[in-house]
Chains A and B, each alone.
Chain A
């Protein structure tokens, strides 16, 4: 099993998201991921994430959303992170606004890895301390990645 910290690049971390709605947030984070070279076809990636949201919100509660989709717009497995201080209305299950957004995509060949990463991320984010540190303590992308390494190690 691989780890999130091996795939989350500091360039893919957006520390202050401006968007306030789900679609805006997906567009802003996807645009960032495209600019840093993780996504080849930005519009396709956005469309695939939005299509997935139609099945049900990926706002899983506790201020977290994980928009995700298999997509032809990326070469392998990719992950990007955005934090919103103000909060985003993601139609989350608990009705709360979302502060932590992780966008994930995979080409079909890396489906198994992508599912493992989804599982690992959701498991880590069940930890309230981890969530709080990502929301309140992390100042830089390096801090985000170091928090992942720390909490992955703690299991």
Chain B
């Protein structure tokens, strides 16, 4: 069965660029459409306000800044995908990261989810609270975890 739709979850930063490059590579070799998703973690901001570490006005500024950063980051991925002739769309969502990505993946008929390497889990609590871990465990479609940045760069350069 062809893999028509691939989704890549990105959080910004250097590691997400590698993840996105591998997703672009996969989309190109499998002739799939690629959707990149960035989620503004509203739950995190709400928790910070509840614990009184940040105040309301501060949280609103952070929320806006995160959204802007997400858009800029997705624009960067879009340019890379266009360069490699991959059909691409991007979306910025708000909410709890793993829940929003899983919902979007289901809505768009995603066949394969590409994500970065979740961190090493050292406590039982992290199994139930780490967004990367939750995304990996709860996704309804097959998940690819991107490792080995050098190899990814090599593969990415191979597609023209």
Which residues of A does B touch, CB under 8 Å?
A: 1-3, 52, 55-56, 58, 60-61, 66, 68, 70, 93, 108-113, 115-116, 118-119, 122-123, 126, 152-155
Q: Count the A-B residue pairs with Cβ separation under 8 angstroms: how many?
A: 68
Q: Is B44 an interface residue (CB 8 A)?
A: yes
Which residues of chain B are within 8 angstroms of A2 by Cβ–Cβ distance?
119
Contact A122 B51 (CB under 8 A): yes
Shortest C-beta distance, A106 to chain B (Å), equals: 11
Cα distance A33–B54 when bound, in Å? 22
> Quick one: CB contact mask for B124-149 with A, threshold 8 Å, 1 for yes?
11100111100000000000000000
Contact A52 B69 (CB under 8 A): no
Shortest C-beta distance, B160 to chain A (Å), equals: 30
Which residues of B does A touch, CB under 8 Å?
A: 11-13, 41, 44-45, 47-48, 51-55, 57-58, 62, 65-66, 69, 119, 122-126, 129-132
Partner of B53, one of A66, A111, A116, A154: A66
Contact B132 A1 (CB under 8 A): yes
Contact A112 B66 (CB under 8 A): yes
Cα distance A112–B57 when bound, in Å? 17
Contact A56 B55 (CB under 8 A): yes
Contact A93 B53 (CB under 8 A): no
18 residue pairs A–B, Cβ–Cβ below 8 Å: A1-B126, A1-B129, A1-B131, A2-B119, A55-B55, A55-B57, A58-B53, A61-B52, A68-B53, A70-B65, A118-B54, A119-B51, A119-B53, A123-B51, A153-B122, A154-B123, A155-B123, A155-B125
Shortest C-beta distance, A6 to chain B (Å), equals: 9
